[in-house]
């Protein structure tokens, strides 16, 4: 059974920490019984990544996909969370673990920005393939591993 472990940074503000619980409930509601969804904080709050990983296994997961609930491919989402996921997975040799890129550049995030700003989306005919909408003349994969082109890539953390 596949599990998704949503991991945010963690905060000293309780309301900020509760937000990931709301996101987890939303993702679980949409996924239904297709996946187990649990949440964790990288630091400053519980559940920790190790606790969240164990909760996934206790719920029956044999595969855990760790999703860094962060916008950009910074050091936490590319280095710290994958390392912590490997450490959390170590006691569970029968469970596979992988880590997705952070949100990065994705047209659905642009839609959320427009909605929150009260602006109607006027253009829906994005170029195919949608190559991360980088500015003209910039190198390939300019925005890194969280580029829209790489959004389906998952790195194995074990």
Higher-confidence residue: 70 or 142?
Answer: 70
What residue ranges do the domains of the chain occupy? 2-104+152-156
Given this model, what pLDDT does residue 134 score?
A: 58
* pLDDT of 50 above 50: yes
Token representation of residue 120: 């109607």
Given this model, what pLDDT does residue 121 score?
A: 85
The CATH number for 2-104+152-156, chosen from 3.30.9.80, 3.40.50.970, 3.40.50.1400, 3.40.50.150, is 3.40.50.1400
Average pLDDT, the chain: 86
Whether the CB-CB separation of 135 and 105 falls below 8 Å is answered with no
* pLDDT of 28 above 70: yes
Given this model, what pLDDT does residue 151 score?
A: 47
* pLDDT of 129 above 60: no
CA dist list (Å): 13 to 2, 8, 18, 19, 40: 31, 13, 9, 10, 15
Model's pTM, two decimal places? 0.83
Given this model, what pLDDT does residue 142 score?
A: 56
Given this model, what pLDDT does residue 140 score?
A: 63
Encode pLDDT of 100-117 as tens digits: 999 888 778 888 999 999
């Amino acid at each position: 059974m596949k599990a998704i472990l949503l991991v945010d940074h963690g905060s000293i503000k309780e309301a900020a920490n509760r937000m990931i619980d709301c996101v987890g409930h939303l993702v679980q509601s949409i996924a239904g019984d297709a996946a187990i969804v649990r949440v964790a904080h990288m630091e400053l709050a519980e559940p920790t990544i190790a606790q969240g990983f164990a909760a996934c296994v206790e719920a029956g997961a044999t595969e855990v996909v760790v999703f860094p609930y962060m916008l950009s491919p910074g050091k936490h989402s590319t280095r710290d969370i994958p390392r912590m996921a490997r450490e959390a997975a170590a006691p569970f040799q029968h469970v596979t673990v992988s880590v997705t890129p952070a949100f990065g550049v994705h047209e659905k995030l642009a839609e959320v920005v427009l909605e929150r700003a009260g602006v109607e989306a006027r253009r829906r005919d994005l170029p195919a393939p949608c190559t991360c909408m980088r500015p003209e003349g910039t190198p390939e994969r300019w925005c890194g591993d969280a580029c829209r082109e790489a959004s389906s890539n998952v790195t194995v953390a074990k």
